[in-house]
Structure 1
Amino acid sequence: MRLGASGYLAHADLASASFAAAADTGATLAFTSLQIPEDDPSSARSVAAAVVGAASSSGLAVVADVSPDTARLLGDSPWELLRSIGVDRVRIDAGFSESTVLAIARVLPIALNASTLRAVDLAPFADVDVELVHNFYPREWTGSALSSVVSSTELAHSFGWRAGAFIAGDSVRRGPLGEGLPTVEAHRGLSPLAQAVALVDAGVDDVYVGDPALTERSWSRLGSFAREGVVVLDGVAAPGVDAAVSAALAVPDRNRVDPAEALIRLEGSRARFAGLPLPRVGGQPRPAGSVTVQLPAAGRYCGEVAVALRDLPGDERVAVVGWVDEVVAVRRGAGVAVHLRRPTSG
């Protein structure tokens, strides 16, 4: 997975810090749009150069979204201008003829719209340097189904091309609606990490944060996933849980390669936890998101840690040691770490 951040002309003041934060976590891509109707043509050229320059200074390769409206913003010969200021690839939105797209591709590598184009539309570009990038959807209830993203991503791969998609941010959201910029509608209210995990599981190669800013924690969690393939689940420890247990949970492990339907089972946890000061009593209810450990009464399973993916009944052999903030379906064999903060008193 390649990770990308976004910067926009209307949020140019955020671009430098956002791109730097993204690069620090391992991001290699940047996205901007040069066809937004609300942007001011009188300043678009200079602001676009500043946004692209901020991305390039952080070592990010820039993908710029363009349409016939880009000429209104940037003036004549916009493709040569974009190349001169450091844009690495242009994403072609609707409104261009096939011949025009091929002409643009002679100036800059292109990305095509994964959300709208069919195999017959893509065939003329089979011998061109192409990637596919899905749309994002600023208005609630207008996003794609994940199944549609799976189909169009498989189409991209049939041509040997990469496919990218967007996740919504959790800090500053782009106006005028401020409802997030995900590709998949069902992702709009999820954490950035959960969205990214779902897209990668769907086959997406490149995950762009659509909104112009993320929280520091979300960049950190996305970075762990992009660089190391580790899904870090944040949560809160149960009262009285020993600090040694919490510390051991933060050590990266992995979901078993024969995953359970109802649990994320940490493959190496038995050896790591069996000798720790485990809770003395089990049997607590296990709602979805519960972090549990098997007690000595479980025999050779003592010490096995799991995260409940759905509500489960209590079991006297199992103690709840905490709860994750968000249930993320981690695929088989994927890296997992659980970071539990101490419960607040009172």
Structure 2
Amino acid sequence: MLGFSAYLHSSFQKKDLEMFNQFVKAGFKGVFTSINLPEDDPQVLLDNLKRLGQLCFDNGLELTLDISSVAMKRLNLNLDRDLAIFKKLHVTMLRIDDGISIQRIARLSLGMKVALNASTIEQTEIDELTAAKANFANLEAWHNYYPRENTGLDGAWFKEKNQWLKANNFKVMAFVPGDKNLRAPVYKGLPTLEAHRYENPLAAAIDMKEYGADRIYIGDSALKASTFEQFRNYFIKNVLQIRAQFDHAPSYITDVLHQRADVSRDVVRLREGRPLNKTEIRPTNSGLRKRGSITLDNELSGRYQGELQLVKYQLPADSTVNVIGQIDEKDISLLKYCVANQAIQLIDIGS
């Protein structure tokens, strides 16, 4: 399940609603927000939470609210007394930050979904929740995001932790960064894994699937228009869009093509390349094939003429191969997700 973040520090403007609608159109089904920032005005938070809740309800989205004992006190709210208020605001899950006891979490789980801190939960807490008769069907494990560089989680530790959580029947959620309007005051993205901090958000999201995340949320509140298209095409149509620049490429280069069923180590071989080619291809620009190069076999390659490839690892120049384009640097990491028979569309982003 895909989700995104919407923050409550200011009233929703037209641009915020447009961004919200783009996420909906791209197939996102959940929203994360927080009342934990101490600098935010309590009344503004509650007013904006009410509006966000209505937007989520109207669009059939789940709304998860990050809470802490300090924030609840500052907003003059009490979990035992005011749980109905959150439900009225269309909050479907409470994400517990800190200061809330295991016994209270167990009681909350009897009435609504609760997300625990995935990174810190231990066996003793699971045992306490069991003893307190928590409804584990309503409990999930959500990781944090890490605004400051070098503080994101280690991949090996993260994978091991997720395996343990899933062995204990928790659904796991994690964040990947956005690529537009990065959140203040650090402006370095909001990833769970440090390795994803400057990654293409789609590549990071697909990677999260490999790490065992059941829910994948964008930590920042915005994506670029072309990134929305990548998400929509991959998660709705199963088409992997890869942005690139071209030089003397055939007209069919931007059609939806497919990785062959047999996956090569060094290159992505597009199975339609040779069948689509109807001309003699003269040797030209047969230079070094850098990682991310797009190549077309010329007439010197004999029966391989017209072969289209995307280069995964740097290869030497070959007089039988023309270099006709280059994948955008931010999208090169998508090559590792070109699995057998994957539908692929190269998007021309110009020079």
Please tell me the TM-score bracket, short chain as reference: 0.7 to 0.9
Distance across 2 between alignment mates of 1:16 and 1:162: 29
Counterpart contact for 1:12–1:47, Cα < 8 Å: yes
2:310 corresponds to 1:311: no
Q: How far 1:313 moved relative to its partner?
A: 0.7
2:266 corresponds to 1:262: yes
Which residue type is aligned with residue 29 of structure 2?
T
Name the counterpart of 2:258. 253
Which residue type is aligned with residue 90 of structure 2?
G
Q: State how 1:204-243 maps to structure 2 within 5 Å.
A: 204-238=213-247, 240-242=248-250
Q: How far 1:95 moved relative to its partner?
A: 2.4
- CA gap 1:145/1:229 in 2 versus in 1, 3 angstroms: farther
- CA gap 1:247/1:57 in 2 versus in 1, 3 angstroms: same
Q: State how 1:276-295 maps to structure 2 within 5 Å.
A: 278=281, 280-281=283-284, 283-295=286-298
Q: Deviations over 1:122-168 (max 9, x none)?
A: 45357332222211011111111222332232223323433221111
* Secondary structure of residue in 2 paired with 1:213: coil
Q: How far 1:178 moved relative to its partner?
A: 2.0
Counterpart contact for 1:273–1:304, Cα < 8 Å: no
* Secondary structure of residue in 2 paired with 1:9: coil
Name the counterpart of 2:58. 57
Name the counterpart of 1:37. 38
2:336 corresponds to 1:337: no
Name the counterpart of 1:152. 161
Which residue type is aligned with residue 311 of structure 2?
A
Distance across 2 between alignment mates of 1:89 and 1:135: 15
Q: How far 1:325 moved relative to its partner?
A: 0.6
Distance across 2 between alignment mates of 1:331 and 1:202: 17
Distance across 1 between alignment mates of 2:162 and 2:197: 20
- CA gap 1:12/1:207 in 2 versus in 1, 3 angstroms: farther
Which residue type is aligned with residue 338 of structure 1?
L
Name the counterpart of 1:93. 97
Counterpart contact for 1:282–1:295, Cα < 8 Å: no
Distance across 2 between alignment mates of 1:87 and 1:26: 20
Name the counterpart of 1:6. 5
Counterpart contact for 1:8–1:51, Cα < 8 Å: no
* Secondary structure of residue in 2 paired with 1:112: strand
- State the identity %: 26
Distance across 2 between alignment mates of 1:55 and 1:315: 55
Distance across 1 between alignment mates of 2:203 and 2:64: 24
Counterpart contact for 1:112–1:130, Cα < 8 Å: yes
- CA gap 1:284/1:9 in 2 versus in 1, 3 angstroms: same
Distance across 2 between alignment mates of 1:63 and 1:31: 5
- CA gap 1:170/1:273 in 2 versus in 1, 3 angstroms: same
| Unmatched 5+ stretches in structure 2 | none
Q: Deviations over 1:209-258 (max 9, x none)?
A: 111121211111112222133321101012x223x13233xx1423x454
Which residue type is aligned with residue 28 of structure 1?
K
* Secondary structure of residue in 2 paired with 1:293: strand
Distance across 1 between alignment mates of 2:186 and 2:168: 36
- CA gap 1:286/1:66 in 2 versus in 1, 3 angstroms: same
Which residue type is aligned with residue 53 of structure 1?
Q
Distance across 1 between alignment mates of 2:282 and 2:59: 47
Which shifted more, 125-134 or 222-231? 125-134
Distance across 2 between alignment mates of 1:264 and 1:69: 52
Q: How far 1:282 moved relative to its partner?
A: 5.8
1:80 to 84, 91, 94: 84
Distance across 2 between alignment mates of 1:207 and 1:299: 46
Which residue type is aligned with residue 113 of structure 1?
N
Q: How far 1:259 moved relative to its partner?
A: 2.9
Runs of 4+ in 1 over 4 A off after TM superposition: 276-279
Q: Deviations over 1:195-218 (max 9, x none)?
A: 212212322222211111212111
Q: How far 1:120 moved relative to its partner?
A: 4.3
Distance across 1 between alignment mates of 2:212 and 2:344: 19
1:140 to 121, 126, 149: 149
Name the counterpart of 1:48. 49
Which shifted more, 328-337 or 28-37? 328-337
Which residue type is aligned with residue 245 of structure 2?
V
Distance across 1 between alignment mates of 2:307 and 2:225: 31
Which shifted more, 159-168 or 131-140? 159-168
Q: Deviations over 1:267-324 (max 9, x none)?
A: x234543336755436221111101223344344443322212221111222212111
Q: Deviations over 1:89-147 (max 9, x none)?
A: 11122322211111121232112222222344345357332222211011111111222
Distance across 2 between alignment mates of 1:276 and 1:35: 63
Aligned residues: 336
Name the counterpart of 2:204. 195
Which shifted more, 281-290 or 113-122? 113-122
Counterpart contact for 1:245–1:277, Cα < 8 Å: no
